[in-house]
Amino acid sequence: MVRIAVIGAGRIGAVHAATVARHPDAELRLIHDPVGNAAEQLAAAHGARATHDLAEVYDADDVDAVIIGSPTPLHVEHLVGAVRAGKAVLCEKPVDLDLARVEECIAAIAGHEHRVMVGFNRRFDPSFAEIHARVQQGEIGPLEQLTIVSRDPAPPSPAYVAVSGGIFRDMTIHDLDTARFFLGDIVEVSAVGQRLDPAYAHLEDFDGAVTTLVAASGAVATIVNSRHCATGYDQRLEAFGPLGSLEALNQTAGSVRHSSATHAGAAGPYLGFFLDRYATAYRDELSHFVDAVRTGRAPSPTIEDGRAALVLADAATRSATTGERVLLPTTARSHP
Amino acid sequence: MVRIAVIGAGRIGAVHAATVARHPDAELRLIHDPVGNAAEQLAAAHGARATHDLAEVYDADDVDAVIIGSPTPLHVEHLVGAVRAGKAVLCEKPVDLDLARVEECIAAIAGHEHRVMVGFNRRFDPSFAEIHARVQQGEIGPLEQLTIVSRDPAPPSPAYVAVSGGIFRDMTIHDLDTARFFLGDIVEVSAVGQRLDPAYAHLEDFDGAVTTLVAASGAVATIVNSRHCATGYDQRLEAFGPLGSLEALNQTAGSVRHSSATHAGAAGPYLGFFLDRYATAYRDELSHFVDAVRTGRAPSPTIEDGRAALVLADAATRSATTGERVLLPTTARSHP
Amino acid sequence: MVRIAVIGAGRIGAVHAATVARHPDAELRLIHDPVGNAAEQLAAAHGARATHDLAEVYDADDVDAVIIGSPTPLHVEHLVGAVRAGKAVLCEKPVDLDLARVEECIAAIAGHEHRVMVGFNRRFDPSFAEIHARVQQGEIGPLEQLTIVSRDPAPPSPAYVAVSGGIFRDMTIHDLDTARFFLGDIVEVSAVGQRLDPAYAHLEDFDGAVTTLVAASGAVATIVNSRHCATGYDQRLEAFGPLGSLEALNQTAGSVRHSSATHAGAAGPYLGFFLDRYATAYRDELSHFVDAVRTGRAPSPTIEDGRAALVLADAATRSATTGERVLLPTTARSHP
Amino acid sequence: MVRIAVIGAGRIGAVHAATVARHPDAELRLIHDPVGNAAEQLAAAHGARATHDLAEVYDADDVDAVIIGSPTPLHVEHLVGAVRAGKAVLCEKPVDLDLARVEECIAAIAGHEHRVMVGFNRRFDPSFAEIHARVQQGEIGPLEQLTIVSRDPAPPSPAYVAVSGGIFRDMTIHDLDTARFFLGDIVEVSAVGQRLDPAYAHLEDFDGAVTTLVAASGAVATIVNSRHCATGYDQRLEAFGPLGSLEALNQTAGSVRHSSATHAGAAGPYLGFFLDRYATAYRDELSHFVDAVRTGRAPSPTIEDGRAALVLADAATRSATTGERVLLPTTARSHP
């Protein structure tokens, strides 16, 4: 049994808490949140303790590992604090919106990186993970082109957008990590941003984007993003190689198809958003983390993966703003 | 070049005339129809001659083969006439609605059966033919269960229904032949009829039916029929064996899929009716016939196949009416 | 919280125990099994007590409801015992293989039927339940034809077959209940059985079957069964009416499709067997039962539904054996 | 009847000749090819005349329109010659590989542009055309993102590659026209090229590419190209807007799906190459041209569309080579 504390009792903290509570090899012990009684409510729902005091998390003798689901600007502080307290850490993405801070964080935990995992949950989606494994096994030959379509069902609130770091650091970053997961080191980044909603006309940010990545291997990844999709959470991926292709289709709640005088074989809308679409991914991500904590093996994706995805997000932001293709120097790539 | 006359300038005659006119190895020479100027119009459209006189068809020196698309009650007369005139014959299904007449017809053309083909066009549908070939090649192992769904887009007129011979002889007969094509000799027939439309309450006939056939091999075929289908012409078939299954899906005009807030991946309605759905089947049926005429080989399906399908339709009619399972004596089966 | 005991620690008992253990409104208290230490092992896995003594189940003050997953011949004894002890009961299907015993059981619990639910779990499958609801709402008009394909991935052991009551009472009974769920009272049953595996040549039983049911409404249901399917657990259903159709497709573990030089869009095999395919159905079935226990409302399907499905299974067995269509007298139908 | 001559008896000329020969409103009169007896053979197959002399085409009194299927470097000469001879012209794409020559051509036929159509056949593909029409009708709201996947089944010969003008002018140009068809004027072009086959290492050309286009409307088109695809001719398109999406899937020859112990629902490979995939598009393209000739209306796509697509191909080539995003000055856009 790995005994776990969750920092942050908001939406993502609640996902992790529920996932831990149901996991056969994990126990939820403690929830931290400084605001109101969010920690208390979430803790009560799962039979755990609550606290407003971070020190209580770090000092808890019955906590082996900490899952960080606090607001992004607090990730680094919580991550460093937990690592220094000897806890294993699973930190939500992004580690931070500022690359310099991420690098300071890495420096601050030097020697303990193998105790830290970053929550790029999509690597654990059964369909994406199956495609990754089959590509590794050579089923389609060397990967040549990866195409990702990733659209949220509805735009976040303006308040969220304002502090999100922009579409590439907030939303595309998942797809950028997926691209690295499949293609390895990326050497060139090109991006185009769209401002479809007039509300974006005065923002630095975009609500649609196409990002093209070139890998050191010569493979190319294309990422199509939108902040909205009428049919639900549009999450598709296609890996293409000389021997064939592997595709992850959108998923619906059941397997019902409707036919009528106007159409044939209509499925229901896609699974609504990440809590549904990636429920299994969150569970399998936790299993990987718990196994790593139990066995002492380094989990993956690492904080270095978190840094590398942010480098790509920064490059995509710059490319979309300036129109130039951004070449990544070797030093900007991952250090394996 | 095989030079062809078409008897009957109605809907099915027009299909055959157009198919002949486009066929690289056939020439349309003559159209016969006794009514009005139907023959003239159809002939003009394809640069052929027209006649109201059957003798002109039989005596034509420049006609090698005759396609019979006249009303069902005239099939036997035209078939025997054409065969006696030395023509090869492709006769639309059913040969006749009366088994005794079919048997008289077979007797009348004794020695010339190999010059006669019956128009069970679905055997030539590329998807059904592909499945048949793959089953024969053993891809799914010995065929165990065949499931056919066959629904017309809309019911025929009451006038047509009155002379149709009933759903089993008129509509199911196609599926019965398909079942024989896949399963060989049938030894038992069970059928259930439905009278869904109140208009059928006073008829001997049905507008929905389920027919179950047991083959000598032990395989079973199930046929689900309806006289209507809101989405179009519903034509599906699944062959199931110990190693897997082969399925022919419904077809739509293009490959467009629509997704919206209410549904995902909706195709358009099915191809409307047999002229669209089986256009290629009519062409490939003609190719088979033309090849047979050119090479002197016996075409297939034969008039014996026409008789055997009618035996099954009679049995299904009796089963649906009386509730008994009808066992087919060996003598009712095909003589290979 | 509804406090639950499970009788039977075999495969299906383990499914129910795990489902109860995970359910937010239920608590697993007690497991009964007379054989070896099966009860102890299952109880330990979920933090419940174990017993070899039925009386302990009936007398337990901390048990509100009993789930019966014992061997079929013991269902009636356990059901009556639990009801007499004042417990609510969820009994696995079939209630018994012998209709007379089911009727004795119903008599024995007279006045308490509303405390008993029969485990036809497929009614709770999200896809089937969604189709049922949409049919009830009139989306396809009055239901005319229901087509069920239901094939097990691999045949059971000969030992199991010998005591199974035959394919119709053991396997088809699920589909028969589904047919009643959609069509209401059934008035005619026709069935054809297959003995594909030579091992069945000397058995009364079949390893393939097609069953056709006519409802009082005039609708028809067709059920195609096989004891094996190379691709996995083949579970499909199509409801057809004048306005369209609703179809439940087979389900696969993920949404991956593979394309290569030989094929396009290939999914993985179907979900393996009922534990996977109907995992959600078991959970939703339990939710329904728990809600009924908490609110005092009668659960559904009822023991009368269990009896009616067995009447249909008996009729199908007789029809497959004798070749006759079996008419069901009004008295054999459900008493609402 | 529109009487037609075809210049060029190679692969694409043969496609057009056969399409004309089958068209109800067109007549194939004359085939020109200077090499060997190609013209004679093609003409004989369709009952037309053959010539080696271009003047015979231009002077033919019984020729209303000319289809130009000669090698690309000869297009302009043949186009200008035919227009000056008073013929209507359908010219294969690209008009020329050199933008300056295309502009000279446009100048040379000034006043007669409405007599010239350029063969971007994909606009006439029924699925693409249906999606275009439904987008125009507002079914998905204003178009925001267009995603095209376009992969050839196998690379062309090195000899062809050497004179092809590069992947963007030879292959992507179809997709660039499709993008303009859907999005209107394009203002920015970014492209990334791949050299996957080592044979391309020493060439200026690419064998894979991703092109991103920004339209004046703010919509974005993404084009993923490869010179090879194991599964066949991969031709997909998705139009996405605020109300939903419309997608054209790949097409297979029939509708057969295979399931086995290893996979479920596998279709056959995609239709092999453009002659199969776009057979209907060639026919409908010809119908549009024939209608234009008969009615005197200007056909579409125009030579200006041919020029605009080449501008985009040039820009994509430059972007892929230099890494810069290419902004298109207003003067480079179409003049409506």
Q: What does DSSP assign to residue B121?
A: G
Contact D323, A324 (CB under 8 A): yes
Last residue within a domain, chosen from B119, B148, B181: B119
Q: pLDDT at residue B320 above 60?
A: yes
D197 at interface of A, judged by CB pairs closer than 8 A: no
pLDDT band at D335 (very low <50, low <70, confident <90, very high): very low
Could you tell me the CA-to-CA distances from A225 to C147, D140, D185, D323 in Å, in that order?
41, 17, 22, 22
- How far CA C138 is from CA of A108, B285, C131, C133, C143, in Å, comes to 64, 42, 11, 9, 9
- The tens digit of pLDDT for each residue in C62-103 reads 999 999 999 999 999 999 999 999 999 999 999 999 999 999
A66: three-class secondary structure by DSSP: strand
Same domain flag for D199 and D229:
yes
Name the one residue in this structure whose structure tokens are 């495609």: A131
CA distance A319 to chain B (A): 32
Segment A209-258, tens digit of pLDDT = 999 999 999 999 999 999 999 999 999 999 999 999 999 999 998 899 99
Whether B175 and B297 share a structural domain: yes
In the structure encoding, which two tokens stand for residue D169, read together? 């002018």
* Residue with token string 């003995």: C195
Q: Which domain holds residue D182?
A: 123-332
Neighbours of chain A (3+ CB pairs under 8 A): B, C, D
Is residue C336 scored above 50 in pLDDT? no
Q: How confident is the model at residue B336 (pLDDT cuts 50, 70, 90)?
A: very low
Query: Do D114 and D196 reside in the same domain of the chain?
Result: no
Q: Closest residue of A to D232, CA-based?
A: A244
Farthest-apart Cα atoms in chain C, separation: 66
Say if residue B144 is in the same domain as residue B221.
yes
**Per-chain mean pLDDT for chain A:** 94
Q: Is the ipTM of this complex over 0.90?
A: yes
Question: At residue D188, what is the residue type?
Answer: E
Q: Which two tokens stand for residue B167?
A: 């759903």
Q: In what order do the strands lie in the sheet with A88-92?
A: A49-51, A26-32, A2-7, A65-68, A88-92, A116-119
Angstroms from D278 CA to nearest CA on chain A? 22
Do D174 and D257 lie in one domain? The reply is: yes
CB of A233 within 8 Å of any CB in chain B? no
Nearby residues of C327 by Cβ (< 8 Å), 6 or more positions away: B323, C187, C188
What's chain D's average pLDDT?
94
Which residues of chain C have a CB within 8 Å of the CB of D264? 231-232, 250, 252, 266-270
Confidence of residue A336 (pLDDT cuts 50, 70, 90): very low
The CATH number of the domain holding residue C23 is 3.40.50.720
The residue length of chain D stands at 336
CB contact at 8 A, D197 and D323: no
Q: What backbone torsions phi and psi does residue B3 show, to the nearest 5 degrees? A: -95, 125
Contact across the interface for A263 and B260, Cβ inside 8 Å: no
Q: Which of B249, B250, B258 sits opposite D246 (nearest CB)?
A: B258
CA distance, residue A121 to nearest chain B CA (Å): 25
Name the DSSP letter for residue D48: -
D47, D129: one domain: no
Strands in B220-226's sheet, in edge-to-edge order, are: B326-327, B186-194, B208-215, B220-226, B145-151, B234-241, B244-248, D256-260
Closest residue in C to B207 (Cα–Cα)? C144
Distance from CA of B288 to the nearest CA of D (A): 19
Who among D147, D190, D224 is closest to A192 (CB)? D190
Q: What are phi and psi of B147, to 5 degrees?
A: -120, 120
Chain C touched by B134 (CB under 8 Å):
no
Mean pLDDT of B70-91: 97
Per-residue pLDDT for B132 more than 80?
yes
Q: Are D272 and D184 in contact (CB under 8 A)?
A: no
- C-alpha D167/C-alpha D316 separation (Å) is 10
Give residue-wise pLDDT tens across range B258-313: 999 999 999 999 987 888 889 999 999 999 999 999 999 999 999 999 999 999 99
Same domain, D115 and D150: no
Segment 70-129 of chain B within 8 Å of chain D by CB: 126-127
Mean pLDDT, residues C45-74: 96
Alpha-carbon gap, residue C192 to B328, rounded angstroms = 15
Q: What percent of chain B has pLDDT over 90?
A: 89
D211-257 pLDDT, tens digit each: 999 999 999 999 999 999 999 999 999 999 999 999 999 999 889 99
Banded model confidence at residue D269, pLDDT cuts 50, 70, 90: very high
Chain C contact present for B318, CB below 8 A: no
Q: What is the mean pLDDT of chain B?
A: 94
Average pLDDT over residues C252-272: 92
- Name the token pair of A297: 């093996």
**Full DSSP string of A24-53:** TTEEEEEEE--STTHHHHHHHHHT-EEES-
Residue C21: φ, ψ to 5°: -60, -30
- Confidence (pLDDT) at D334: 53
Tokens of C238: 């199509």
The predicted model gives B169-198 an average pLDDT of 96
CA distance D285 to D278: 10
Q: Do residue D108 and residue D223 come from a single domain?
A: no
pLDDT, residue C330, reads: 64
Instruction: List the beta bridge partners of residue C65.
Output: C4, C88
Q: Which residues of A239-260 are buried (b: 16+ CB within 10 A; e: fewer)?
A: bbbbebbbbbbbbbbbbbbbbb
Of the partner residues C208, C245, C323, the one whose CB lies closest to the CB of residue B145: C208
∠ Cα C183 C189 C191 (to 5°)? 120
DSSP β-ladder status, C65-68 and C2-7: parallel
**HSE-CB for A323 with a 13 A CA cutoff:** 11
- In tens, the pLDDT along C191-205 reads 999 999 988 878 889
Report CA-CA distances (Å) from D283 to B253, D18, D123, D125, D290.
Answer: 15, 10, 12, 9, 10
Q: Is the pLDDT score of B330 beyond 80? A: no
Which residue is associated with the tokens 């009727």? C103
Return the SS3 of B42: helix
Q: Are C192 and B208 a contacting pair at CB < 8 A?
A: no
The alpha carbon of residue D282 is apart from the nearest alpha carbon of chain B, in Å, by 15
Which candidate from A194, A218, A327 shows the least CB-CB separation from D220?
A: A194
- Whether residues D112 and D195 share a domain: the answer is no
Say if the Cβ atoms of C131 and A256 lie within 8 Å: yes
Rounded CA-CA distance D46/B287 in Å is 19
A298 pLDDT more than 80 = yes
Partner residue facing C231 (CB), from B144, B195, B244:
B244
Q: For chains B and C, count residue pairs whose Cβ atoms are closer than 8 Å.
A: 99
* Closest to D237 in 3D by CA, of D126, D78, D127: D127
Which of B65, B98, B119 is the last residue before a domain boundary?
A: B119
Task: State whether residue A190 sits within 8 Å of chain D by CB.
Answer: yes
B189 DSSP 8-state letter: E
Question: pLDDT, tens digit, for every residue of D189-205?
Answer: 999 999 999 888 788 89
Task: Inform me whether the pLDDT recorded for A88 exceeds 60.
Answer: yes
| Residues D139 and D287 reside in one and the same domain | yes
- On whether the CB atoms of residues C63 and C3 are closer than 8 A, the answer is yes
pLDDT-derived band at A70 (thresholds 50, 70, 90) equals: very high
Counted domains in chain C:
2
- Rounded to a whole number of angstroms, the distance from the CA of A222 to the nearest CA of chain B is 22
Render pLDDT for A319-331 as a digit per residue (tens, 0 to 9).
999 999 999 976 5
CB contact under 8 A, A260 and C247: no
CA atoms of B10 and B15, how far apart (whole Å): 9
Average pLDDT over residues B18-43: 94
User: Is some CB atom of chain A closer than 8 A to the CB atom of B267?
Assistant: yes
pLDDT given at position A334 = 53
State yes or no: pLDDT of C335 exceeds 60: no
Contact C256 A246 (CB under 8 A): yes
On whether both C204 and C255 belong to a single domain, the answer is yes
- Find the mean pLDDT for residues C232-239: 97
Instruction: For residues C234-252, give the mean pLDDT.
Output: 97
Which residues from D are below 8 Å from C264, CB to CB? 231-232, 250, 252, 266-270
Q: Where residue B204 sits, what CATH number does that domain have?
A: 3.30.360.10
Residue with tokens 């509805």: A154
What pLDDT, on the 0 to 100 scale, is given for residue D331?
53
User: 3-state class of B36 per DSSP?
Assistant: coil
Minimal CA separation from D259 to chain A, in Å: 17
In the listed set D119, D139, D160, which residue is the last one of a domain according to the structure? Answer: D119
CB contact under 8 A, D269 and C264: yes
Are residues A14 and A97 both part of a single domain? yes
Q: Compute the mean pLDDT over every residue in chain C, rounded to the nearest whole number.
A: 94
